[in-house]
Copies of this chain bind each other. A is one copy, B any other.
Amino acid sequence: MQVTTKPETPHSSEECKHSIRAVHDAMYVLGGKWKISIIACLLFGAKRYSDILREVEGISGKMLSRELKEMEVNFLVKRTVGKSQPVMVSYELTEYGESVKPVISTLANWGHIHRKCVTKNS
């Protein structure tokens, strides 16, 4: 038996682990360097491969197609191939993908505030 200084109800510890697990689950799907940025980008509407490539600065073609494919498997994104001309593939969020929106906007909001804090103290 362990005794900690601050006994802490087993209840709160369970709650804590539960919450950590949920966060972990989310990060399992949304993790990686680019997925969240891609979703953020697609929240502004359906985009083509090259559009995303241009808007998500720094991402390489390989990573973009890789992440998109993963997100398609997870039903976050839908891929549509337009009837040729010069091919045209467009990507859009599924309804499920849209459900990530609150996560993104909370995160973006915090990031925004954080940037202000940092630049203020420099």
Contact = CB atoms under 8 A, between A and B. Distances in A.
Given A15-B44, A20-B40, A48-B5, A26 B117 contact: no
A19 to B, nearest CB: 5
The complex is assembled from copies of this chain, and their number is 2
Given A5-B88, A15-B44, A29-B114, A23 B102 contact: no
Interface of A is mostly: helix
A24 interface: yes
A25 B99 contact: no
Given A4-B48, A5-B82, A48-B4, A111 B16 contact: no
9 contacts: A4-B48, A5-B88, A19-B40, A19-B104, A20-B57, A22-B108, A23-B40, A23-B111, A103-B103
